[in-house]
Structure 1
Amino acid sequence: MKSTFLLAISLSLPIFSNAQHNHSHEQKPSNAREVWGDFEKDELIKTKLVDWTQTPIAGHVLKNGTPKKGFEFVDSIDIYSVVYDSDGFMVTGFMAVPKRQSKYPCVIFNRGGNRDFGQLLVGTALTHFGRIAAEGYVVIGSNYRGNSNSEGKEEFGGSDVNDVLNLVPALGQIEMADTSRIGLLGISRGGMMNYLAMKESCQFKAAIVVGALSDLNVMKEKRPDMESHVFAELIPNYNDSTEFALNARSANEWVNELCVDTKLLMLHGDKDDRCHPDMARDLHQKLSKINFPHTYISYKKGNHGLSSYQDEMYESIHMWLDKYVKNDQDFDEVPHLVVK
């Protein structure tokens, strides 16, 4: 199975491996409303079934029309492109659901990257959303405002955190979604979005972060290119309020404000050269001091995408979601594990 997981991860490298690298192109004009039309009265989300077999991802998961080994799950799910209302903006994304009609717990997938780099694509929805959906979940993710034909302007963890929170009422209009059971899965920058959502709301049963950005001050020190090409370009009034802007987006600075009802799983490689592991270590120590329900798993020689640990990573993700989102179990975990 390991080769299958590695293939799946390679199909969406911007999300798991290069999520903090920036392409400094101008944002594209928004045209979501032109494509989708206006929302009807009280409508919060529109969906369109995607025939993924007619997209490039099909060549990676099918052989002669049959799923390759490890991708058998694709026959049990449907993929939808979506647009939903977030503060009056039309924001784009994707959703994966089981084919079998029932009520399912939900997972909000928070992508990495910035602007259109790391954007959600059909391949992401199929190989990442779909793998989780096949286990009995409605999985949905946003491209955030201003990106991928969405309206508005990205703020890299500013008002665009509402694009995560507003997925909850949108899910309320999805017949198969049980919004009393919702989890978060955030990758790289998406981990920052997880933490910001946990600061604003206690409606999430559990959260998982992979290679998460949790301290922008560390990022500024370790990767100066992030400040010049991402922070300064996307964060409003950055040059006039740098310290405030960085701290407001850094969970390490406000651990006491994270909702203790959300069980947190932190996965981080100790050779991550994109989101330095010092961020995760420091956050783990601060969370431990206040007895926050969490587990920090560090991976020896693991990179940003944990490319050498795909089996272990997915096993931990599925276990955490099943225990704390699907089955709402009492927290019973060790605080720190090292995977060699």
Structure 2
Amino acid sequence: FKYQVDNVEVLGYIIKPKVTKNKLPVLIYNRGGNGNFGNVNFAAMMRNLFPLAEQGFVVIGSQYRGTSTKNDDLDEFGGKDVNDVLALIDFIPHIANADENRIGMLGASRGGMQTHLAMQHTNKIKAIATIAGATDLVKELTFRPNMEKNVYVRRIPNYKENKQAELEARSVMNWVDKLSPKVPILLIHGSDDKRVSVENSIQFAKALDKHHIPHKLVVYDGDNHFLIDHKEQLESELVNWFNTYL
């Protein structure tokens, strides 16, 4: 579907079981990538999201502003595009069989950052999960320096003038003390992730522990950014997590 945010047309999608008589919990899915790279095509839906819908969840997601258009520079990588995520919450009461009182949020890679940024502006999410999420973008530059030239300079407004401030604002590690103790967080990461260091999830878990935020850390030994070797375990973790807390 198409929807308007800040006078910009954004693409979204809904996936849900065909037949159900009951109200179903909802997952807002925040994708990875940036601009047109990483957009959720049908193959990605089948691989990553259909299994969740098959387990009884309504899945709704945004492609983020500019995706699949000639102007994919609208994506600010954690700037105004966060509004594209928040706007989805207003759709949920209008989706048949979707339970607006049982909403979770799932973010993969960049979507992990997107999830924490969105959580700053809503209290309607009961539980969240992130897969290979970046929690400290400043430290990540040491691990993957080409992100600066390929993504940050291009997408983040005023990046060259305010590099430190912009990266810190997008890094949940800088505001763990502001997180709600009522929203449990599942962290999943592969130990051999070459795109987002596993230390993002490990150090974030330690910070959550310090601030008494309920959480669970799952690290799949030897697996990469896409967790291909642990697909069934990943799906099981997600389904069990959201079934427990939604």
- TM-score of the superposition, structure 1-length normalised? 0.69
Identity of aligned residues (%): 36
The CA deviation at 1:101 is 4.1
Q: Return 5+ residue gaps in structure 1 as ranges.
A: 1-81, 326-340
Asked whether 1:197 is paired with 2:115, we answer no
Mapping of 1:280-295 within 5 angstroms? 280-295=201-216
The CA deviation at 1:156 is 0.1
Distance in 1 (CA, whole Å) between partners of 2:189 and 2:218 is 6
- Aligned to 2:105, which of 184, 187, 204? 184
The CA deviation at 1:175 is 2.5
2:94 paired residue number: 173
Assess, with a 3 A threshold, how the Cα gap between structure 1 residues 314 and 101 changes in structure 2: closer, same or farther: closer
2:38 paired residue number: 118
The CA deviation at 1:238 is 0.3
- Aligned to 1:93, which of 5, 9, 12? 12
Q: State the Cα RMSD in Å.
A: 1.5
Distance in 2 (CA, whole Å) between partners of 1:199 and 1:293 is 17
Distance in 1 (CA, whole Å) between partners of 2:67 and 2:230 is 30
SS at match of 2:16: strand
Check whether the contact 1:202–1:261 (CA below 8 A) recurs between aligned residues. no
1:83 paired residue number: 2
The CA deviation at 1:232 is 0.6
The CA deviation at 1:177 is 1.7
Deviations 1:81-103 (A, max 9, x none): x2123233221022111111442
Check whether the contact 2:30–2:111 (CA below 8 A) recurs between aligned residues. yes
Assess, with a 3 A threshold, how the Cα gap between structure 1 residues 171 and 85 changes in structure 2: closer, same or farther: farther
- Aligned to 1:228, which of 128, 138, 149? 149
The CA deviation at 1:261 is 2.1
Count of equivalent residues = 244
Deviations 1:179-238 (A, max 9, x none): 111111111001111111222222111111111111111221111110011001000000
- Aligned to 1:138, which of 58, 66, 75? 58
Check whether the contact 2:52–2:235 (CA below 8 A) recurs between aligned residues. no
- TM-score of the superposition, structure 2-length normalised? 0.94
SS at match of 2:196: coil
Distance in 1 (CA, whole Å) between partners of 2:88 and 2:43 is 21
1:53 paired residue number: none
Distance in 1 (CA, whole Å) between partners of 2:71 and 2:28 is 20
Assess, with a 3 A threshold, how the Cα gap between structure 1 residues 94 and 125 changes in structure 2: closer, same or farther: farther
Mapping of 1:264-275 within 5 angstroms? 264-275=185-196
1:154 paired residue number: 75
Q: Return 5+ residue gaps in structure 2 as ranges.
A: none
Distance in 1 (CA, whole Å) between partners of 2:239 and 2:20 is 21
Assess, with a 3 A threshold, how the Cα gap between structure 1 residues 94 and 214 changes in structure 2: closer, same or farther: same
Assess, with a 3 A threshold, how the Cα gap between structure 1 residues 85 and 247 changes in structure 2: closer, same or farther: same
Check whether the contact 2:181–2:212 (CA below 8 A) recurs between aligned residues. no
Letter aligned with residue 257 of structure 1: K
Distance in 2 (CA, whole Å) between partners of 1:136 and 1:300 is 29
- Aligned to 1:298, which of 213, 219, 242? 219
SS at match of 1:147: coil
Distance in 2 (CA, whole Å) between partners of 1:123 and 1:308 is 18
Rg larger in structure: 1
Deviations 1:4-59 (A, max 9, x none): xxxxxxxxxxxxxxxxxxxxxxxxxxxxxxxxxxxxxxxxxxxxxxxxxxxxxxxx
Check whether the contact 1:186–1:209 (CA below 8 A) recurs between aligned residues. yes
